[in-house]
Amino acid sequence: MKNRFSLRIEEHDNKAKNAIQKIFEDYGFGLYEWGYEHDSKLYSKLKNQTDPTSIILRFRPDFVALREGVRSVLVEVKSSPKSESLYVSIQLTSFESAKAWGEHVMYAFIEIDTLDAGACWAIDIPEPKKIFVPKKKWWKHETKRISYEYPRAQIIPVDYDPAHQSGHPYILIPKDSDFIYDLSEFIENELIN
Query: If DSSP states are collapsed to H, E and C, what string results for 40-98?
Result: HHHHHHHCCCCCHHHHHHHCCCCEEEECCCCCCEEEEEEEECCCCCCEEEEEHHHHHHH
pLDDT of amino acid 27: 96
Is the residue at 130 inside a domain? Answer: no
Is the residue at 56 inside a domain? Answer: yes
pLDDT of amino acid 22: 95
Is the residue at 144 inside a domain? Answer: no
pLDDT of amino acid 47: 74
Q: How many domains does the chain have?
A: 1
**Full-model pTM:** 0.86
pLDDT of amino acid 169: 92
pLDDT of amino acid 25: 96
Among 32, 15, 167, smallest CA distance to 79 is for 15
pLDDT of amino acid 8: 59
pLDDT of amino acid 12: 59
pLDDT of amino acid 3: 55
The list of the chain residues with pLDDT below 50 reads none
Triad 77, 78, 80: Cα angle to 5°: 145
Among 76, 80, 81, smallest CA distance to 107 is for 76
Is the residue at 167 inside a domain? Answer: no
> Under a CB-based contact definition with an 8 Å cutoff, are residues 28 and 67 in contact?
yes
Is the residue at 59 inside a domain? Answer: yes
Is the residue at 184 inside a domain? Answer: yes
Q: Which domain holds residue 27?
A: 4-125+175-192
Residue 120, classed as helix, strand or coil, is strand
Distance, CA of 179 to CA of 187 (rounded, Å): 14
The CATH number assigned to the domain holding 48 equals 3.40.1350.10
Is the residue at 75 inside a domain? Answer: yes
